[in-house]
Amino acid sequence: MLYANPAGLQLFNATSVDLHHKNLSELLAFSGGTDIEKKAYLKQDANKQWVNVTESNVDYEGKRFRFLLLKPVETQSISQEEKIKLLLKTIHKDISKREEEIEKLANEIEARTKILNTAAIVSETDKFGTITFVNDTFCKLAKYSREELIGKPHNIVRHPDTPKAVFKEMWDTIKRGEIFQGIIKNRAKDGSPYWVIATIGGVLDTEGKPHKYIGVRIDITQLIEKGIEVSLS
């Protein structure tokens, strides 16, 4: 199951979250009919609510989708007002379930972001390389305030010792929508050098083109200063 409209949710007494990716055989028990028109009853309904099922298949973007039109067989009269009340109740239930899922996802994202910001140096830029976000760890290592960095080109921390070919490779890679990873020597505000393992990638728009870039870096300065060889392999 990929989608059910509000009336379908009401029929199954479920939310869209409940039904998403659920197997149809868990919901309906078919009983005779043709390939196009069948009868079935709802498995979850103790009274075995019967429905007439009209089925069709549609090919879209190389995939085949199965569409079912379900029409309940009315066993008792129900007023239009009662139908609307039931429908509104189902929609409200669906919205509440979606809100719960969104809140759960937001909490997970917040937890992951906190861990990432604590462990790594994070920055974001627009597609031109202008800084739009830096975390506290970035500011501490680069010895700039956040206000000094936002709106500036990311090469504000570039060290002249790093070959230009490295940055050309980086831009060529991330503009293709691929991930760049390399060891880069940077320069802090006071002129002191620091080294990072940089992983940089783009956030793609609807056309598959990067509209901003996110960089995550690990500080390896102490390893470099101690003469310890660092390899990405």
**Tens digit of each residue's pLDDT (9 = 90 or more) over 125-165:** 999 999 999 999 999 999 999 999 999 999 999 999 999 99
pTM, rounded to two decimals: 0.58
d(CA 8, CA 120): 47
120-225: CATH number:
3.30.450.20
- Tokens representing residue 117 in the block: 């910001």
Domain residue limits, the chain: 6-111, 120-225
- How far CA 45 is from CA of 7, 20, 56, 128, 233, in Å, comes to 16, 19, 25, 58, 58
Q: What is the pLDDT of residue 173?
A: 96
Mean pLDDT, 10 residues at a time, the chain of 233 residues: 84 83 87 80 79 84 84 66 72 80 88 86 96 96 97 96 94 95 96 97 91 95 92 78
Tell whether the torsion through CA atoms of 137, 141, 142 and 146 is positive or negative: positive
Q: Which amino acid is at 125?
A: T
d(CA 121, CA 136): 8
Place of tokens 């409940």: 18
- Tokens representing residue 27 in the block: 């919901």
Q: Which amino acid is at 43?
A: K
